[in-house]
Structures are given as C-alpha cells and as structure tokens.
C-alpha cells in the first residue's frame, strides 16, 4: 500500500510537471543575487525532470571523455571529469538540502524514485572500463608530468575513488557490486525516514498542571505553544525534539514522566513495527562487509579508514582506549555523587539513566550555583549568532550582512552575505535554526554550491547551517541553552570551512576532506563560545542588554569539567558501537540487541548511562556518511584542543596565528595531506594532553 501511495504521488508530480525546459528553474541561470537557488520558483514537480536531464547530460559528458581520440592527459580526462555533472550537482544540492531540512511526502516519494537512479549513474561512471583506463594512464605518469601538488592530489583522488568504486572488479563482481550499492542506498534512505517519523510520532501530552512541577516557565510556555499548534488547546505537549526533551529531563520532578520521555527517545526504531530499523541496520552491516570483501578488504572499517588520517581500525581503537579508561572512571565517580544526592533527598531508588540529567542539574546548582536557566536570558539566538560572526570578523577580518533579497525555502531561514576586509565578496550563508516536522534531528552544514576556480572562473560558495534550537515562545525570543550555543558555534565552524575555501578544483575544496579532519574547524570554533573575552561581547541579557556578569562567566569556567565523565563516555560508547558494527568480518546477520549489548559490555559501560546513539536510530552511520567515522569527533577534538593552545599562547585573536590557521586549515580543503597541513600550522604533531586536560580527565 505504501509503495502504491508513493507511486500515486509521483504520478501526480509527473503529470503536473513542466513540459518545457525553460519553465524549470534548474535548466537556466537562477537570475537571483549571486546565483543563489530560486527557492521561490522551485517546486516539487521540477526535481524529477531535472534529475533525469542531469543524469542524461552526465552520461553524455562521460561518453565524450571516453571517446576522445586524443591520448589521455590531465586536462582532457581529469579536468573534464571535474567539469562534468553540473546540472546533476545543481539539482542534487538543492533537493537533498530540502529533503533534510524541510521534507514532505512529495520529496520523500521523489527520494525513493531518484535514489536508485543516482546510485546506478554513480556506478555507471566508476565501473566504466574505458574511463578508468584513461584515469589510470594519467595516474601512472603523473609524477613525471609536471603537475602541481594540488593537481597530483586530484589525480590520485580520482584514481582511488574509481578503484574503491569497483573499477578493478570483474564482470560478475561488478554486477554484484552495483546491486549492493543500490540496496544500501535504499536501506539508508528508509532508515533515515523511519527515524524522522519516530521523532514526530512520539507525543507526551500533559493535562494536569501538577505534572509540570519543576519545569521552568519558558519550557512550560513552549509546551503550551506546541500543544496549541497541534490542536490541543489548554494542554502541554512534549516531544523528542531536543529543545523539548532535554529541559524536561533536566527539570521535571516527575520521575515516571522523565522515564517515559527518556524511554521514548532511546527506543526509536525499536518497536517491532513498520518503523523498526533493526533488520535494516543488520542487513546494511552485512552488505557493507560483502562490498568490502569484493574490494579486497577484511572489513568495512578497513575500507573506510584506509585513505583518511586514522588509516586503520587499530589506530581508532587505540585512540578510544586512551580516553575511555579515565573517562569511565570519572563517570563512575559522578554516578556515586548523584546517588548520594538521591539518598540525601530522602529517596531510596537506584540511579537510572532517566535520572542522570535531573540530578546532574541539581548537583551543578549545588556545587557551582549554576543551572541552564540562569544562562538562557543571556543567550538570545540572534546575539549568539552575531557573536559567532564577530569572532570570525576578529580572526579573519570577514563581515556578515543580512540580505533580504535572496529567496529562502522557509520563512525562518535567514541569509547573509560574507565579505573580506577589503569588501570583496566571499560567499553566502543561510542559517536555519528552528525545529519543524519536516526537518531531520540534529545540526549540520552543507554547501548549495562549492567554491572553485575551475578554468580560471571564480565560483563563490553558498553554504547553509541547520539546527534544531529552542524556538521563541509567547513574548520571549529564542533563548538557547549552553549546549545549543556550542552547537551553533560548531556548525558555524563548518560553515567557515566552506566559506573560506580557496582552491581550484571542486572535488578538493571546502569540507571535501578526510572525515577525521573535517571536524577540526567546527570543534575549534567551540573554544571561542565560552571564552570569557568572547562571552563579554555577545552574551547580553535579552531584556536589559546588560553583558553577562563576571561572576556568572566565572561559574561557567569553574563548571567546565562538570559531568564530563558522562558526556565523554556516552559519546565514546557510540564511537565504539560504530567501530564494532563495522569491524565485523563476515556477512552473518546479527541480532541488533544482542550485538549492541555485547559491545557495551565489552567496554564496561555502566548501566546508569545509555550509549548516545543506540543502533536503531544511529543515523550518522546508517543513513549518513559517518560509518566507521563517528570516532572522528574525538580525533578532531585532539586536534582542536591542541590547535587552541596556539591561540592561548599567542593571544585569542592574534592576527598572525589566525592567518596561518586560515591559510593552512580553512583554505586548503583536501589539496594536501591533512597531517601535513596541521603540522604546517602548529609546527608539531598534535598532542592528546590538551584534550584530557580540557575534559578534566587528567
């Protein structure tokens, strides 16, 4: 029935689609400021015709490269590949931006239709023997061909991409490889769709004021607004979206309700119904192993890690093990402290996962006279956003000016033009910060257009940041939690990586870097969010405009190590779980519960803490591109903690240090090996001690 409905929707889309190319915004220049997407003109009906035409053009371009009678060289093969697929990239970037941030049944139907087409086109290219032969010809002679280091990097990237894309496989294996890729693409799409639906279908509707005890006024107001929006006038609605979930767990005095919320969150995709993800993920894990074996690798993790900084699973586990023991010991101490607080309050129950947030917040208040609600009035979203902009201005001289003439896909989206100190245009930044039913959970950054200088033509970047932050309620603006502040700075760091890119070839620019290097710019920016000098600039009371008082800033600094055992272990448990799923060396279909429990038992995760992402909703690795890569946040944190030491030594806004960081980290993309770039900036190998010190684990 579901497939029939999707087919019916697609039929309607096709019937109502434009028949003339000139009517479709994707088939011509957008005629908007800076050629930003014409969101005011783009309709669902435009996507499939544009996708199909884009695939057709891409195939014709590949055919022309293969049939070129001239001997293969860098320009007629590698650069020609860089030029190819412009229409397909154009429509894909817009479609998947909307599919993640503002989806609907029409876009979901299109995704189901187009995903296998895109997978097939990708395989058609990478498995094209004639094309690979030309790439290999260029690859074999590149060292003696006079190519620059950046050009050689590009040649090597294409060669590796094709080899890893099955180019060396035999005929039967190629067909198996294609089938696996198509299955994985559809399974990943279904996994993500299920998680989104699970997020949206959970509702905890409260009708009795007494059930709201302990909750701050702004949380109650937000719940009332949510209830009203869903037709529950006079009641209070709580959901699994983080701005609703986390404050409830932190402040609700009703333990049974905390348990209900927490259980709803950790059992997503795990109800043995039409949205259950367990069989999907176990099949994906097995298919990934089968694909790795076809390519000559023992495991999926070996395949993924080969060409990035970690190189192999052993190095990842080594890093995790270095941090895990001190983090787990710290978490055990924290659990004891929380249990003491429970007993001291006259309660006799044992600490459970749904109690941790609540008693941790009470303990922080007791130890540091600090809680989230004391901070929120100083974290008006617009002030935080502008604070991040000001940090970038002081570091790199760039400015951000809001534009009101650029079309957006949703009314809450804002756009900003970014300029260099000399007034020259850098790029465009979209920010989309509030939850909605059609938006995936979490926060992310992507590019609607990447920076490049192909053929001498300067193409400036168009970047977007997406979040799910606390919405305005009643007469109050959006007031963020400290965690949301850090997330905003984090995604803005990714945005700067895309905006300040300065390379030639699209495949190497912006965030097209090793997965365990890409988080460095984002996590580096988090350091500035709570730096006292920066807090003084942007943390101003939303009513009075007064800056955050020194004693409150001091409390933030003194509480910096608080609850870090919990924060580190719940994250690292997910990193271990990811690696365990992807170091499987056989294609046996595991029971998801049994496997996950064994993984957590092996590392000794205490029962009071639940892994940050349980397998059935671990979207990073089953519907995103972080499989065998969730550890990269920790890997990058080693880099960012070490990098920030340089700024602490030379001055928070030291222009020379900032310029070296911009030139070697933000601007270079994947034009050189990331460790070479890092050492050129820092002058040494990254050290793990700053990370352990910052988290209070040393």
d(CA 470, CA 448): 25
> What does the H/E/C string look like for 124-187?
HHHCCHHHHHHHHHHHHHHHHCCCCHHHHHHHHHHHHHHHHCCCCCCHHHHHHHHHHHHHHHHH
d(CA 486, CA 468): 13
SS3 call for 596: helix
User: How open is the CA angle 386-388-394, to the nearest 5 degrees?
Assistant: 100
d(CA 323, CA 97): 35
Assigned token pair, 532: 């006292």
d(CA 264, CA 238): 11
- Determine whether 491 is an active site residue: yes
**Beta bridge pairs of residue 446:** 464
Q: Is 479:380 a contact under the CB 8 Å cutoff?
A: yes
**Beta bridge pairs of residue 275:** none
Assigned token pair, 340: 């003491």
Catalytic hit among 373, 491, 519, 570: 491
SS3 call for 66: helix
d(CA 175, CA 599): 34
The number of residues in the chain equals 698
> Which strand (E) or helix (H) includes residue 1?
none
Assigned token pair, 691: 């990370």
Instruction: Give the number of other CB atoms < 10 A from CB of residue 387.
Output: 24
d(CA 163, CA 155): 12
**Beta bridge pairs of residue 459:** 452
Per DSSP, the residues of 400-436 read EEEESSS--SSTT-EEEEEE-TTS-EEEEEEEE-S--
Assigned token pair, 476: 């109050």
Q: Is 273:197 a contact under the CB 8 Å cutoff?
A: no
> Can you tell me which residue has the tokens 């060292």?
143
Instruction: Enumerate the active-site residues.
Output: 491
């Amino acid at each position: 029935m579901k497939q029939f409905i999707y087919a019916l929707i697609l039929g309607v889309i096709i019937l109502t689609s434009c028949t003339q190319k000139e009517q479709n915004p994707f088939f011509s220049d957008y005629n908007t400021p800076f050629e930003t997407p014409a969101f005011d003109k783009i309709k669902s009906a435009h996507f499939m015709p544009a996708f199909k035409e884009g695939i057709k053009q891409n195939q014709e371009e590949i055919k022309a490269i293969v049939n070129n009678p001239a001997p293969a060289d860098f320009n007629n093969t590698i650069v020609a590949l860089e030029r190819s697929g412009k229409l397909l990239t154009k429509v894909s970037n817009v479609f998947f931006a909307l599919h993640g941030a503002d989806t609907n049944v029409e876009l979901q139907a299109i995704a189901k239709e187009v995903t296998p087409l895109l997978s097939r086109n990708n395989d058609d290219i990478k498995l094209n023997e004639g094309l690979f032969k030309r790439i290999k010809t260029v690859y074999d002679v590149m060292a003696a061909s006079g190519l620059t280091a950046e050009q050689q990097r590009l040649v090597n990237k294409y060669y590796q991409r094709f080899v890893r894309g099955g180019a060396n496989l035999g005929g039967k294996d190629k067909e198996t490889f294609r089938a696996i890729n198509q299955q994985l693409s559809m399974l990943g799409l279904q996994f993500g769709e299920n998680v989104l639906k699970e997020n949206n279908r959970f509702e905890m509707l409260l009708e009795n004021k007494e059930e709201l005890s302990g909750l701050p006024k702004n949380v109650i107001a937000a719940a009332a607004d949510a209830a009203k929006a869903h037709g529950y006038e006079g009641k209070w609605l709580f959901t699994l979206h983080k701005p609703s979930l986390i404050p409830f767990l932190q402040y609700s005095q009703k333990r049974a309700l905390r348990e209900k919320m927490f259980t709803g969150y950790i059992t997503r995709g795990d109800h043995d119904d039409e949205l259950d993800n367990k069989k999907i993920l176990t099949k994906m894990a097995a298919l990934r192993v089968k694909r790795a074996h076809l390519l000559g690798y023992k495991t999926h993790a070996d395949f993924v890690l080969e060409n990035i900084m970690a190189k192999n699973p052993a190095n990842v586990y080594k890093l995790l093990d270095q941090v895990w023991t001190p983090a787990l010991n710290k978490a055990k101490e924290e659990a004891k402290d929380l249990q003491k607080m429970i007993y001291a309050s006259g309660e006799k129950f044992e600490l459970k996962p749904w109690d941790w947030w609540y008693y941790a917040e009470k303990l922080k208040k007791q130890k540091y006279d600090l809680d989230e609600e004391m901070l929120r009035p100083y974290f008006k979203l617009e002030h935080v956003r502008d604070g991040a902009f000001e940090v970038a201005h002081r570091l790199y001289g760039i400015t951000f000016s809001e534009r009101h003439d650029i079309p957006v896909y949703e009314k809450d989206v804002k756009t900003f033009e970014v300029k260099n100190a000399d007034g020259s245009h850098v790029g465009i930044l979209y920010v989309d910060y509030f939850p909605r039913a059609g938006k995936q959970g979490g926060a992310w950054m992507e590019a609607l257009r990447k920076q490049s200088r192909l053929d001498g033509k300067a193409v400036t970047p168009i970047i977007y940041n997406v979040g799910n932050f606390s919405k305005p309620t009643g007469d109050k603006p959006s007031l963020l939690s400290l965690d949301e502040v850090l997330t905003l700075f984090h995604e803005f760091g990714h945005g700067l990586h895309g905006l300040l890119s300065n390379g030639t070839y699209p495949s190497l620019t912006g965030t097209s870097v090793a997965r365990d290097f890409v988080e460095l710019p984002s996590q580096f920016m988090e350091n500035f969010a709570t730096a006292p000098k920066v807090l003084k600039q942007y943390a101003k009371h939303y009513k009075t405009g007064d800056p955050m008082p020194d004693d409150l800033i001091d409390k933030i600094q003194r509480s910096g190590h608080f609850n870090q055992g919990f924060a580190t272990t719940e994250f690292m448990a997910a990193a271990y779980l990811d690696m365990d799923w992807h170091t499987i060396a056989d294609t046996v279909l595991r029971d998801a519960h049994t496997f996950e429990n064994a993984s957590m038992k092996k590392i000794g995760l205490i029962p009071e803490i639940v892994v940050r992402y349980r397998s059935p909703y671990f979207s990073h690795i089953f519907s995103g591109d972080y499989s065998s890569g969730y550890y990269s946040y920790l890997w990058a944190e080693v880099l960012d903690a070490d990098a920030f030491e340089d700024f602490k030594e030379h001055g928070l806004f030291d222009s020379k240090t900032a310029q070296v960081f911009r030139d070697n980290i933000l601007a270079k993309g994947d034009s050189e090996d990331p460790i070479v770039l890092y050492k050129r900036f820092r002058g040494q190998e990254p050290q793990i001690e700053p990370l352990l010190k910052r988290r209070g684990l040393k």
